[in-house]
Amino acid sequence: MRTVYHYVNGETFEGTSGNTQPVLNPSTGKEQAAVALANKADVDSVIAESAKAQPGWAALNPQKRVRIIMEWIRLIHENMDELATQLSLEHGKTFPDAKGDVLRGVDVLEFALGAPHQLKGEYSSEVGTGIDTYSLRQPLGVVAGITPFNFPAMIPLWKAGPALAAGNAFVLKPSERDPSVPVRLAELFIEAGGPAGVLNVVHGGKEAVDAILDSDTIKAVGFVGSTPIAQYIYERCAATGKRAQCFGGAKNHAIVLPDADIDATADAIVGAAFGSAGERCMALSVVVPVGQDTADRLRDAILAKIPELKVGHCLDPEADYGPLVTAEARDRVHRLIAEGVEAGATLLADGRELDMSDKTFNEDSLADGFYSGPSFFDNVTADMSVYSEEIFGPVLVMVRAETLEEAVSYPNDHVYGNGVAIFTQNGGAARDFCKNVQVGMVGVNVPIPVPIAYHTFGGWKASGFGDLNQHGPDSFRFYTKTKTVTSRWPSDDSAGPQFTMPVM
């Protein structure tokens, strides 16, 4: 049985705890590896090694740093199939979806190649007689990322890329459910010419997380996961004087106006709701059609498409989506479906009925995999748990609204504010919606409005804690501190000591 160890100073580090956790293949339910779990002493030693490596890395000029990142990008592309296959086998998402996971991370590495420009300061001459003022952006030192299972390549790269380009050392604590790809990415960074110790990977649970949060050396923490943990990390970082960038749960809505192209909208919603088994923070899980006729037409169009979806092994080229990551994740989804039925919602498609007992792929039985078919509710109300909670599974709920104002009230009043979309051909309605909806990321006829790498990604309300968001210019602001210098070179006509506040 293979063991995934920590990766420190460019080599495998077994750690001292001796504790491991199984790494499962969600498609079959079988254990395929074990991952080493760090204790506090292990994490402290990893952070110490990062602190030793960081000054030399920061001393490289930004162009030299991004040349290494450029080679890192090339190596990721060269090893793409290997990375995507391993990601699929540990997470459960399909191979094409896994490639997308890696590529959206590479997008941010490509943006990070602009570090020489992003790190430029500002200069003002003659702000006073013989006085100049300028600013410069400097790295924080050692920073950390605590990243989720659902994007084991993209989110680590979103955080590590700008942090490294800015001159920081980066300690990555990825999910222990799918740890192999983060380690492989760190190996490729070293192969690209990255100095040992600048990018380290340590695995573990709460003890490892708390060791990062309590470290005096760590200056900033980026996190993606559930809202309770995001708030816990944000508050603990505040208590220890760290910067924090913490992203939590979501309940993304799609508003559908009567003039929308119903068939195209249904296609968009089905893909966004059920892709990756719904295990995306940007999954579209609530659809709010305006008007009963719109709702009935959209309901029928979605119902016509659901039977066409194929759920299967992550490497099956015919599968639209694969299993959930664990049996516990699947069972939670099924519990929430049962709660929706009990609350009075109309269950039009029941994913709990999916039977994989006689299914195989390449002679592997899928009977013990963590599968759930697509589920679709109608007549859902805001007081039901299937509406209020992030299900994080292949479940779509429909909430009916009579007016656009009523429809917009649903995302505006929800505790989460991550992503939202509107489907319409009315430019004025879309423009007003974009201005008035209280959500961080908005799509107009785009079901999953994940911004491109040179714009910022982040939700509002309980979906995000902290002002500066992931990727885009915000990432360089988050991973650097601004120093402002006011200078005057003395002349022969010194005026002597001054005892009042200087006036420029």
The mean-pLDDT minimum among 55-59, 196-200, 451-455 falls in: 451-455
Q: What is the pLDDT of residue 324?
A: 98
Question: Are the beta carbons of 147 and 156 closer than 8 angstroms?
Answer: yes
pLDDT of 495 over the 80 cut: no
At 129 the pLDDT is: 87
Across the range 371-387, mean pLDDT stands at 98
Q: Is the predicted pLDDT of residue 499 greater than 90, yes or no?
A: no
User: What is the structure's pLDDT at 497?
Assistant: 73
Q: Which one is predicted more confidently, 317 or 500?
A: 317
Instruction: Give the model's confidence band at 438: pLDDT under 50 very low, under 70 low, under 90 confident, else very high.
Output: very high
d(CA 453, CA 176): 26
Determine the pLDDT at residue 490: 80
Q: Residue 492: what pLDDT?
A: 63
Q: Name the nearest CA neighbour of 280 among 375, 392, 160, 204.
A: 392
pLDDT in tens, 363-373: 999 999 999 99
HEC sequence for 110-167: HHHCCHHHHCCCCEEEEEECCEEEEEEEEECCEEEEECCCCCCCHHHHHHHHHHHHCC
In this model, does residue 493 exceed pLDDT 70?
A: no
Mean pLDDT taken over the chain:
96
Helices 206-214 + 227-239 axis angle, to 10: 30
Mean pLDDT, to the nearest integer, of 443-457? 94
- DSSP class of 455: S
Average pLDDT of the segment spanning 424-450: 96
Nearest residue to 164 via CA among 128, 193, 136, 135: 193
In whole angstroms, give the CA distance from residue 328 to residue 187. 31
Q: Which of 276, 270, 250, 275 is nearest to 26 (CA)?
A: 276
16-61: per-residue pLDDT in tens?
999 999 999 999 999 999 999 999 999 999 999 999 999 999 999 9
Six-digit token string for 58:
């920061």
Q: Enter the tokens of residue 431.
A: 């423009």
At 119, is the pLDDT very low, low, confident or very high (cuts 50, 70, 90)?
very high
Domains of the chain: 1-247+458-483 (3.40.605.10), 250-442 (3.40.309.10)
**pLDDT tens digit string along 53-97?**
999 999 999 999 999 999 999 999 999 999 999 999 999 999 999
Give the pLDDT score at 268.
98
pLDDT band of 313, cuts 50, 70, 90 = very high
* Sheet (strand 30-37) strand order: 2-4, 30-37, 19-25
**281 flagged as catalytic:** yes
Q: Which of 61-75, 179-193, 480-494 is least confident?
A: 480-494
Q: With contact defined as beta carbons under 8 Å apart, do 36 and 20 qualify?
A: yes
Does residue 308 have a pLDDT over 70? Answer: yes
Residue 199 has pLDDT above 90, yes or no: yes
pLDDT, mean of residues 254-274 = 98
pLDDT at 123: 95
Q: Are 179 and 36 in contact (CB under 8 A)?
A: no
- The pTM of this model reads 0.96
pLDDT bracket for residue 491 (50, 70, 90): confident
138 pLDDT band (50/70/90 cuts)? Answer: very high
Q: Active site residue: 246, 281, 314, 434, which one?
A: 281
